[in-house]
Each structure stands twice: as C-alpha cells, then as structure tokens.
Copies of this chain bind each other. A is one copy, B any other.
Amino acid sequence: MAQAYWRNGMNSSATFSLSFRGYPKNRAYYAVAGIESALSHLEFMQFTEQDIAFLRSTSELDPQFIDALSVLRFTGTARAMNEGMLAFADEPVVEVTAPLIEAQIVETALLNSITFQTSALTKAVRIKHAAGDRPVSEFGARRAQGRDAADYAARCSAIAGFAGTSNLGAAARFGISTTGTMAHSFVQSFEDELSAFRAYVTEFPEASTLLVDTYDTLQGVHKAITVAKEMERRSELLRAVRLDSGDLLSLSVQVRRMLDDAALGYVQIVATGGLDEYSISQLVSDGAPIDGFGVGTRFVVSADAPFADSVYKLVSYAGRHAGKLSPGKTTLPGPKQVYRTARGGKFAGDVIATAGEIPPTGSEPLLKVVMENGVREAPQDTIESARTRLASQLEWLPPETTSLTNPTAYPVTLSAELRSLQAQHAARRSGDN
C-alpha cells in the first residue's frame, strides 16, 4: 500500500482516527491505556538496517521505495486521550495527522499497543471494582500471551490501583510495586510443610504469606498457626495465609475461625486460584472473610474479553473527508474532538464533534495534543498521574455503567455538525457509486 502511495505521489496530510466499535460482553466503558507505548513507537519508529536488508532480500518492493523507507521517521501530530481516561464506543482515542505513508505505516503498532492495554486496564478496573476495599495483587506473567503482555498487564494493574505485581521485570521496567508469594514447589522442596513455613518466615518476618494448600488446607493452617505462635515469641507477626484451591468461601470461613480461636485475629486470609471479577464479586457478596485477592491468568489475558474491536480509520486525506460505509462498520468522517459534560457530580454524557466546532457549554475536551512534528509534548504522563486520573474518572462515572454484568449504556451523541458531515459524506460516496 505504501509503495502505491509513494509511486502515485500520494503523501499529503492524512488523519487517522483510532476508536473502538461497540463493547465486549458485559462492558459499557473502556479504561484507556497503551498511549505511552504507542507514542513511544511514533517517536522512535524507523526501519533498522536489518529491516531494510530484509526488505531488499524479499525483492517484492521497488529498491527506490526501500531507500525512501530507510529514512522514514514519524513527523506528524498526535492528539490523544491520556491513559486512565474513560472512553466509549466510537469515540476517537487517538487521532494521528501526518503525511499519508507515515500515518499508514504506524497503524499496526498503534492498534497493538492500545487494544491490548485498554482491554487489560478495563479488566483490572472491573476486578478492583469487585474487590472493593480489599487489596488485589497481580500474578499473571506465567500465563500471559508473551513477555510484552505480561509486563504491560502488570503496568495496567498498577494504574488500576492494585497493591502489587509478582512480575519483577515489569517492576524494574516501569517502576511499579512488587509483591511476593510462595509457590507449592517451595513447600514441596522441603522435607515437610512445617520446615518450609519456618524457612519462609525467617526470610521475610515482616511480610510472610504462607501457602497452606499444598497437601491438605486445614492441616496446613494448623502448621501456619504453629509458626505464627513461634513468631509471636520473637515479636514477629505472620501476615497472612493463602488459599489457592477448593471451595474458597467455606474454606475461608473455617480458616478464619481456626485463626481467631488461636487468637490470631490479625493474620489475614488471601485467596487466589483462577479468580476474576465474577468470582471475586461472588465471594464478597457471600461475605467470605477474605482480606485480599490475587489474580493471574484470567486477568492477564482478559479471559472473558481477550480483544476489543479497535479500528484505525482514515478520516481525512488531502483536505478531503473520508469514511467507510461497509455494513456495521461505518466510520465517522473528518478529524474530531470528544466533549464530556458533568452534572451533579457525575458525568452526564459525551458529544463526539468535528475538531473545529464550538464546544458544548461547560464541557471538557478529551483529546489533547501529545505530539507535534514527531516530538512528544513535555512533560510526559506518568503511571501515578494515570492512576489518579482513572480513580477520579471512575468516581464520576454513573454507577449503572460500571455494573459487572449487563451494564447500562453511557450516553454518547454526535454533534449536529458531525451528523450533517456524515450525511453529506454518505450521499457523496453513494453518488460516486
């Protein structure tokens, strides 16, 4: 495609709009993430010598076009919602304006960054919502779809306000909090469970969580109690026991009673094992005496919604609006802006408008210029500010929109000007046929 543009001298300014069509099951909002890695891609995008050598070796492309690619950089403008903002279906999350070839060539990287990370952050928000005040930790790296997915899901868990991640690599990469746990193999590598527990609390006297289900959960709890009492004699406090299998509701009730009977009311119960927002919500509403949750696989792959229907569509080229009319896949033409209004402490609705028009009274524009002439705006966004922003957005979101099942749609309308533009565009294209 790019070679055809190049040969036809088609490299005027193009605007592409990245948005989501509809929602995955049980969702009525997106928590936006992936903007930082997308912008980083735009900033540093180039064909390396290796890339160029590969393209030359495949010989399908014109050598002169490959020369052009070897010096290609992204020189355009990007307007985007910040990470942690909430977005709704059809709203542009990013708009890129650049010479056509540049704007086209970054498509896959932008969609790849923003689609998965937005799915992961949205999943994290749902899990946090289900857990309420109870801290949640992230243990999903082992089952993530690759190393990137593991790290970015951990980053999203930090934006959502999780307590920590077990992914040390992600912690080092992004500066987020870690949390540790012991595995069954740790218990198994010792002659007996009691020795394993004693060795573990020696290592981390202030933050020990003992995994009690390797052989028999209630027997494991008895041994944890023994160790907790030994710790008390050293003026140390066992932090928690962890349940990772079986019926977590009835086990947590039994374990709580055992701990309380042993005057260990301060020892917490942490639950893990195939958890997600649905099972956590059930445990919470059943009153399970669980003090914290760990989520892994179902979080890290966003198991009930492993993708979102993201698109990156040409909306303007060389001053001419573009749109697409395929059934169920229409695109709103032209560069746009999204305005959000609030009333009585809650968001009242969004308006998708053309980029130039006068904003609705009292509304906030959501797309900010984050890159100009291929250079990012300083100062760049941080995980901390994304976390604060997300928490505030969620406070303002109508609660029926956040329901974990069958949420109510949030009102998003098109401005009169955009509707009229869309109608003109459809009429023109239809005449063209």
Contact = CB atoms under 8 A, between A and B. Distances in A.
B326 A213 contact: yes
A213 B329 CA distance: 10
A244 B180 CA distance: 47
Interface in A196-255: 199-200, 202-204, 213-217, 219, 244-246
A142 interface: yes
Count chain B CB atoms within 10 A of each CB in A186, A189, A217, A324 and give the residue with the most: A189
Given A203-B7, A314-B185, A116 B104 contact: no
A199 B4 contact: yes
A25 to B, nearest CB: 12
Count chain B CB atoms within 10 A of each CB in A51, A60, A303, A307 and give the residue with the most: A307
Contact of A148 (B3, B148, B168, B320): B148
B188 A107 contact: no
A361 interface: no
Interface string A95-118: 000001000100111011001100
A379 interface: no
A108 B142 contact: yes
Contact of A202 (B7, B322, B323): B7
A432 B192 contact: yes
Contacts of A185: 1, 16, 104, 107, 312-314, 322
A380 interface: no
B314 A150 contact: no
Contacts of A180: 1
A226 to B, nearest CB: 13
A73 interface: no
Interface string A395-414: 00000000000000000000
A183 interface: yes
A317 to B, nearest CB: 5
A163 B173 CA distance: 37
Contacts of A432: 192-193, 215
Interface in A276-332: 297-298, 301-303, 306-308, 310, 312-314, 317, 320, 322-329
A31 to B, nearest CB: 16
Contact of A146 (B55, B149, B306): B149
A379 to B, nearest CB: 23
Contact of A107 (B142, B178, B214, B245): B142
B172 A1 contact: no
A346 interface: no
A14 B188 CA distance: 11
A297 B306 CA distance: 9
Nearest to A188: B322
Contact of A141 (B7, B108, B150): B108
A329 B183 CA distance: 13
Contact of A116 (B58, B116, B144): B144
A143 B325 contact: no
A178 to B, nearest CB: 7
Given A116-B143, A245-B328, A301-B301, 18 more contacts: A4-B199, A4-B200, A7-B202, A54-B171, A58-B171, A112-B142, A116-B145, A116-B149, A142-B312, A143-B307, A145-B146, A146-B147, A184-B326, A188-B322, A189-B317, A214-B326, A215-B432, A246-B327
